[in-house]
Amino acid sequence: MNMYDADKQLEQSGLHLPPASDPKGLYKSCLIDGKHLYLSGHLPVQDDNSTITGRIGNELTKEDGKLAARQVGLSMLSTIKKNLDSLNRVKRVIKIFGMVNCVPEFDQQPYVINGCSELFASVWGSDNGVGTRSAVGVCSLPGNTPVEIEAIFELYE
Protein backbone atom coordinates (compact mmCIF):
# COMPACT_ATOMS: atom_id res chain seq x y z
CA MET A 1 0.00 0.00 0.00
CA ASN A 2 0.94 3.67 -0.20
CA MET A 3 3.84 4.77 1.99
CA TYR A 4 3.21 8.40 1.01
CA ASP A 5 0.30 9.98 2.91
CA ALA A 6 -1.35 12.22 0.32
CA ASP A 7 -4.13 13.31 2.68
CA LYS A 8 -1.52 14.46 5.19
CA GLN A 9 0.51 16.23 2.50
CA LEU A 10 -2.56 18.20 1.46
CA GLU A 11 -3.41 19.04 5.06
CA GLN A 12 0.14 20.25 5.73
CA SER A 13 0.09 22.42 2.58
CA GLY A 14 -2.48 24.70 4.19
CA LEU A 15 -4.55 24.65 1.00
CA HIS A 16 -8.31 24.28 1.30
CA LEU A 17 -10.49 22.10 -0.94
CA PRO A 18 -13.50 23.80 -2.52
CA PRO A 19 -16.82 21.94 -2.54
CA ALA A 20 -16.94 19.11 -5.09
CA SER A 21 -18.99 20.23 -8.08
CA ASP A 22 -21.88 18.32 -9.53
CA PRO A 23 -21.84 17.68 -13.31
CA LYS A 24 -23.27 20.56 -15.36
CA GLY A 25 -24.44 18.24 -18.14
CA LEU A 26 -25.00 14.60 -19.00
CA TYR A 27 -21.71 13.08 -17.83
CA LYS A 28 -20.00 11.71 -14.73
CA SER A 29 -17.37 13.85 -13.06
CA CYS A 30 -15.59 10.72 -11.83
CA LEU A 31 -15.47 7.18 -13.20
CA ILE A 32 -13.55 4.17 -11.93
CA ASP A 33 -12.68 1.43 -14.42
CA GLY A 34 -10.64 -1.34 -12.83
CA LYS A 35 -7.53 0.26 -11.42
CA HIS A 36 -8.00 3.59 -13.21
CA LEU A 37 -9.82 6.73 -12.13
CA TYR A 38 -10.95 9.13 -14.84
CA LEU A 39 -11.91 12.71 -14.00
CA SER A 40 -13.91 14.77 -16.46
CA GLY A 41 -12.86 18.31 -17.17
CA HIS A 42 -12.85 20.39 -13.99
CA LEU A 43 -13.02 24.17 -13.69
CA PRO A 44 -11.46 26.55 -11.13
CA VAL A 45 -14.19 26.31 -8.47
CA GLN A 46 -13.69 28.51 -5.41
CA ASP A 47 -14.81 28.02 -1.80
CA ASP A 48 -18.10 29.85 -2.43
CA ASN A 49 -18.85 27.53 -5.41
CA SER A 50 -18.22 30.34 -7.92
CA THR A 51 -15.62 29.93 -10.65
CA ILE A 52 -12.66 32.08 -11.57
CA THR A 53 -13.35 33.76 -14.91
CA GLY A 54 -11.37 35.57 -17.57
CA ARG A 55 -9.07 34.98 -20.50
CA ILE A 56 -5.28 34.78 -20.19
CA GLY A 57 -3.78 37.73 -22.05
CA ASN A 58 -6.89 39.89 -21.63
CA GLU A 59 -8.30 40.13 -18.10
CA LEU A 60 -5.80 37.68 -16.58
CA THR A 61 -2.01 37.32 -16.51
CA LYS A 62 -0.12 34.05 -16.85
CA GLU A 63 0.35 34.12 -13.04
CA ASP A 64 -3.43 34.43 -12.59
CA GLY A 65 -3.79 31.48 -14.95
CA LYS A 66 -1.32 29.38 -12.98
CA LEU A 67 -3.26 30.07 -9.76
CA ALA A 68 -6.50 29.18 -11.58
CA ALA A 69 -4.92 25.88 -12.69
CA ARG A 70 -3.97 25.16 -9.07
CA GLN A 71 -7.58 25.87 -8.11
CA VAL A 72 -8.72 23.38 -10.77
CA GLY A 73 -6.36 20.85 -9.19
CA LEU A 74 -7.91 21.50 -5.78
CA SER A 75 -11.36 21.00 -7.30
CA MET A 76 -10.18 17.67 -8.72
CA LEU A 77 -8.82 16.62 -5.32
CA SER A 78 -12.21 17.50 -3.83
CA THR A 79 -13.93 15.21 -6.36
CA ILE A 80 -11.49 12.41 -5.54
CA LYS A 81 -12.08 12.76 -1.79
CA LYS A 82 -15.86 12.89 -2.28
CA ASN A 83 -15.89 9.69 -4.36
CA LEU A 84 -13.01 7.71 -2.81
CA ASP A 85 -12.93 9.13 0.75
CA SER A 86 -9.14 9.49 0.63
CA LEU A 87 -6.43 10.76 -1.70
CA ASN A 88 -4.38 7.76 -0.52
CA ARG A 89 -6.41 5.50 -2.83
CA VAL A 90 -4.55 7.12 -5.76
CA LYS A 91 -1.29 5.37 -6.63
CA ARG A 92 -0.13 7.83 -9.26
CA VAL A 93 -1.06 10.45 -11.81
CA ILE A 94 -1.10 8.98 -15.31
CA LYS A 95 -2.19 11.90 -17.51
CA ILE A 96 -3.29 15.51 -17.21
CA PHE A 97 -4.92 17.28 -20.15
CA GLY A 98 -5.05 21.04 -19.61
CA MET A 99 -6.89 23.61 -21.70
CA VAL A 100 -6.10 27.31 -21.34
CA ASN A 101 -8.56 30.00 -22.46
CA CYS A 102 -6.15 32.54 -23.93
CA VAL A 103 -5.56 35.11 -26.62
CA PRO A 104 -4.11 33.66 -29.86
CA GLU A 105 -0.62 35.08 -29.30
CA PHE A 106 -0.27 33.55 -25.82
CA ASP A 107 2.15 30.59 -25.96
CA GLN A 108 2.86 29.72 -22.32
CA GLN A 109 0.11 27.16 -21.72
CA PRO A 110 2.56 24.69 -20.08
CA TYR A 111 3.47 27.36 -17.52
CA VAL A 112 -0.21 27.85 -16.65
CA ILE A 113 -0.95 24.12 -16.31
CA ASN A 114 2.08 23.80 -13.99
CA GLY A 115 -0.24 25.21 -11.32
CA CYS A 116 -2.08 21.87 -11.28
CA SER A 117 1.00 19.72 -11.93
CA GLU A 118 2.92 21.29 -9.04
CA LEU A 119 -0.04 20.73 -6.72
CA PHE A 120 -0.28 17.05 -7.64
CA ALA A 121 3.50 16.64 -7.21
CA SER A 122 3.22 18.14 -3.72
CA VAL A 123 0.36 15.79 -2.79
CA TRP A 124 1.61 12.48 -4.26
CA GLY A 125 5.36 13.16 -4.52
CA SER A 126 7.62 13.93 -7.46
CA ASP A 127 7.46 10.36 -8.83
CA ASN A 128 3.80 9.38 -8.42
CA GLY A 129 2.41 12.92 -8.62
CA VAL A 130 3.86 13.63 -12.07
CA GLY A 131 2.49 11.88 -15.13
CA THR A 132 2.19 12.62 -18.82
CA ARG A 133 0.57 15.89 -19.82
CA SER A 134 -0.78 18.08 -22.56
CA ALA A 135 -1.32 21.84 -22.31
CA VAL A 136 -3.18 23.53 -25.13
CA GLY A 137 -4.63 26.94 -25.83
CA VAL A 138 -8.30 27.30 -26.73
CA CYS A 139 -10.45 30.26 -27.76
CA SER A 140 -13.21 29.62 -25.21
CA LEU A 141 -14.09 27.53 -22.15
CA PRO A 142 -17.38 27.05 -20.27
CA GLY A 143 -18.43 30.13 -18.30
CA ASN A 144 -15.40 32.06 -19.61
CA THR A 145 -13.15 30.20 -17.17
CA PRO A 146 -9.40 30.49 -17.82
CA VAL A 147 -8.57 26.80 -17.36
CA GLU A 148 -10.19 23.37 -17.67
CA ILE A 149 -8.32 20.17 -16.81
CA GLU A 150 -9.14 16.48 -17.02
CA ALA A 151 -7.01 13.65 -15.66
CA ILE A 152 -6.44 9.91 -15.40
CA PHE A 153 -5.05 8.28 -12.25
CA GLU A 154 -3.96 4.76 -11.31
CA LEU A 155 -5.53 3.43 -8.12
CA TYR A 156 -4.19 0.99 -5.59
CA GLU A 157 -5.89 -2.38 -5.99
Q: How many domains does the chain have?
A: 1
- Split at pLDDT 50, 70, 90, the class of 22 is confident
What whole-number distance in Å separates Cα of residue 156 and Cα of residue 90? Answer: 6
How far is residue 41's CA from residue 59's CA, in Å, rounded to a whole number? 22
Rounded distance between C-alpha atoms, residue 51 and residue 88, angstroms: 27
Encode pLDDT of 68-108 as tens digits: 999 999 999 999 999 999 999 999 999 999 999 999 999 99
CATH of the domain at 138: 3.30.1330.40
% of the chain surpassing 90 pLDDT: 94
User: Residue 24's CB: how many other CB atoms inside 10 A?
Assistant: 11
Q: Flag whether 133 is in a domain.
A: yes
Asked if residue 92 is part of any domain, the answer here is yes
pLDDT for 2: 52
In a domain, 11, yes or no: no
Phi/psi-derived region of residue 77, left when phi > 0, alpha when psi is between -120 and 50, beta in every other case: alpha
Question: What range defines the domain where residue 76 resides?
Answer: 29-155
Average of pLDDT values for 32-47? 97
- Whether residue 1 lies inside any domain: the answer is no
Taking all residues of the chain, what is their mean pLDDT, rounded to a whole number? 96
Whether 115 is in a domain gets the answer: yes
Q: Is residue 6 part of a domain?
A: no
